[in-house]
């Protein structure tokens, strides 16, 4: 798959969004489900691109499947919450937050401050989850010392300690 070498995750994410959106006509949750599907595809394609040949579930940098599902589900809940607050909770927010900031030179209203904040939060959510998925466990540092989680790295560290004593 050549598209994984570049940052081209918008096309598969858009296709996933469209497939889920048009597969559920009349469903009141179809926009939320389609948004979750597009976000999931974008995050996992981008994480796979960043990880390269490192698999998700094998090796020293493996991610626990339960942690992966739980972490991604939490991000999807936050995603739906942000979208729902922006869509349906705007009437309860102050007017200075929901009124358009101004008008464009063509006379069209610009987005409100709420839309800018919502967009920033969505990008931040995507960045944090993508960083979490693409970073391996061996990259974690605790107390100025590299923490190793894999069996071979742990055995190597123990053997090095034995030789030094």
Residue pLDDT, tens place only, 42-69: 988 888 877 776 666 666 667 778 888 8
Q: Which residue has the tokens 């940052």?
A: 7
Residue pLDDT, tens place only, 108-123: 888 888 889 999 999 9
The lowest-confidence range among 63-67, 96-100, 152-156 is 152-156
Task: Fill in the DSSP letter of residue 141.
Answer: E
Q: What is the mean pLDDT of residues 137-153?
A: 53
Predicted pLDDT of residue 136: 59
Tell me, yes or no, if the pTM score tops 0.95.
no
- Judge if 128 and 148 occupy the same domain: no
Residue pLDDT, tens place only, 5-44: 566 778 889 999 999 999 999 888 888 999 999 999 998 8
CA 98 – CA 115 distance, rounded (Å): 8
- Judge if 48 and 19 occupy the same domain: yes
What domain range is 152 assigned to?
A: 140-165
CA 4 – CA 19 distance, rounded (Å): 21
CA 134 – CA 51 distance, rounded (Å): 5
- Judge if 117 and 150 occupy the same domain: no
Q: How many domains does the chain have?
A: 2
- Judge if 118 and 102 occupy the same domain: yes
- Judge if 165 and 126 occupy the same domain: no
- Judge if 129 and 88 occupy the same domain: yes
- Judge if 149 and 123 occupy the same domain: no
> Is residue 8 within 8 Å of residue 46, measured between CB atoms?
no
Q: Hey, is 100 helix, strand or coil?
A: strand
- Judge if 17 and 47 occupy the same domain: yes
- Judge if 78 and 130 occupy the same domain: yes
Contacts of 16 (CB under 8 A, 6+ apart): 34, 37, 38, 40, 41
CA 126 – CA 110 distance, rounded (Å): 24
- Judge if 130 and 157 occupy the same domain: no
- What value does the mean pLDDT of the chain take? 79
> Is residue 38 within 8 Å of residue 17, measured between CB atoms?
yes
Task: Fill in the DSSP letter of residue 19.
Answer: H
Structural element, H or E, at residue 160 = helix 151-164
**Tally: H helices and E strands in the chain:** 6, 2
Q: List strand residue ranges (DSSP E) for the chain, in order.
A: 141-142, 145-146
């Amino acid at each position: 798959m050549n598209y994984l070498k570049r940052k081209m995750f918008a096309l598969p994410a858009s296709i996933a969004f469209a497939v889920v959106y048009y597969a559920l006509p009349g469903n009141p949750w179809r926009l939320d489900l389609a948004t979750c599907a597009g976000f999931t595809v974008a995050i996992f394609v981008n994480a796979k691109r960043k990880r390269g040949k490192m698999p998700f579930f094998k090796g020293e940098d493996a991610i626990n499947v339960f942690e992966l599902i739980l972490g991604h589900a939490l991000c999807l809940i936050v995603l739906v919450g942000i979208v729902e607050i922006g869509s349906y909770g705007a009437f309860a927010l102050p007017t200075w937050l929901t009124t358009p900031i101004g008008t464009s030179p063509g006379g069209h209203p610009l987005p409100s401050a709420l839309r800018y904040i919502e967009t920033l939060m969505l990008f931040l959510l995507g960045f944090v989850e993508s960083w979490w998925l693409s970073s391996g466990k061996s990259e974690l540092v605790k107390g100025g010392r590299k923490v190793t989680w894999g069996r071979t790295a742990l055995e190597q560290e123990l053997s090095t300690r034995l030789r030094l004593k």
